[in-house]
Amino acid sequence: MKKLVSIILAAITVTTVAAAFAGCSSDNNSGSSASSNTSTNSITIAVPNDTTNEARSLLLLQQLGYIKLDENAGITATIKDIKENPKNIKFNEVEAAQVPNVLQDVDYAVINSNYALEANLNPVKDSLGIENSSSAYGNVIVVKEGNEKTDKIKALKAAVESKQVADFITKKYDGSVVSVVDNPTDGYDSSIDYNALKGEKITVAASPTPHAEILAEVKKILAKKDITLEVTEFTDYIQPNNVVESGEFDANYVEHKPYLDDFNQQNKTHLVVVTTVHVEPIGLYGGKQKTLDALK
């Protein structure tokens, strides 16, 4: 009988110890799960992955008070230059044109206004934070070095700098795109012999929105002098620069100057700015998060 009792007590002891170990294992799993949830619940922001637009995005986030960058980083900043990240933001680096496509999969995204407009996002009304119009990232007309003083390009420049185009930008985009032409003209350059340009064609590579739309207004001005403006749309920044460098196109209108400067340096190209036309304020948009509460 005593032997039977001893066996029963031993069995109870083993069961108790096993339960205790099981409880420890459960606690560890719970801790792991909590850690996993913390990671899952961290804030993710998609940003463009090219050098200048990534820096521009990070500068906007710094302006909004969410991160702090190395003071020497400037317009070449990358996520490696982030010195303070109190919200533990995780960054998803994406090709600029694709950022709107991943918006639904991240908490927030920083999107260039041209791509926001193409995605039916209104930068003024839909963004949760936006760059001011004094941005250094003005969009420019670009030609190959040596062609900037030709009459064709001077005619294009004059038409782009017209009051007609500036008014079109203001009315069409209502602050989403801002003209930066200081002294708009009638659209014509008095130093040019327009009669000699009759029948000429100017070819420009452009992104669809807003560049090709703005050039459609420029086309009307040049048509009055019997000059044809032929616009071909591209969906990236690289090919428009390549086709101007190669001489296939007279000019392009797709990018801001910091991007052009970086492109020239990286690719040993010889592209120059003819004029700065407008600014597209870059903005922070909500994806999974519809307000800025998660960042407060």
CATH topology of domain 138-279: Dipeptide-binding Protein; domain 3 (3.10.105)
How far apart are the C-alpha atoms of 21 and 179, rounded to whole Å?
70
Average pLDDT of span 223-248: 97
Q: For a pLDDT cut of 90, what percent of the chain falls above it? A: 78
What is the pLDDT at residue 241? Answer: 98
How far apart are the C-alpha atoms of 159 and 220, rounded to whole Å?
9
* 206-219 pLDDT tens trace: 999 999 999 999 99
Average pLDDT of span 21-38: 32
Q: Which CATH entry fits the domain spanning 44-131+283-295: 3.90.1150.10, 3.20.20.70, 3.40.190.10, 3.30.300.160? A: 3.40.190.10
What is the pLDDT at residue 75? Answer: 84
Asked whether residue 103 carries a pLDDT value surpassing 80, the answer given is yes
* 225-235 pLDDT tens trace: 999 999 999 99
Say which range, 24-28, 144-148, 252-256, has the weakest mean pLDDT: 24-28
Average pLDDT of span 187-204: 98
Is residue 171 within 8 A of residue 124, CB to CB? The reply is: no
What is the pLDDT at residue 74? Answer: 84
Asked whether residue 112 carries a pLDDT value surpassing 80, the answer given is yes
**pLDDT category, 134, cuts 50, 70, 90?**
low
Quote the mean pLDDT of the chain: 87
Average pLDDT of span 234-239: 94
What is the pLDDT at residue 133? Answer: 59
**pLDDT category, 132, cuts 50, 70, 90?**
confident
What is the pLDDT at residue 10? Answer: 43
Q: Where are the domains of the chain?
A: 44-131+283-295, 138-279
* 248-279 pLDDT tens trace: 999 999 999 999 999 999 999 999 999 999 99
Average pLDDT of span 94-121: 95
Higher pLDDT, 13 or 50: 50
How crowded is residue 133: how many other Cβ atoms within 10 Å of its Cβ?
Answer: 15
* 38-85 pLDDT tens trace: 344 689 999 999 988 999 999 999 999 999 999 999 888 999 999 999
What is the pLDDT at residue 148? Answer: 97
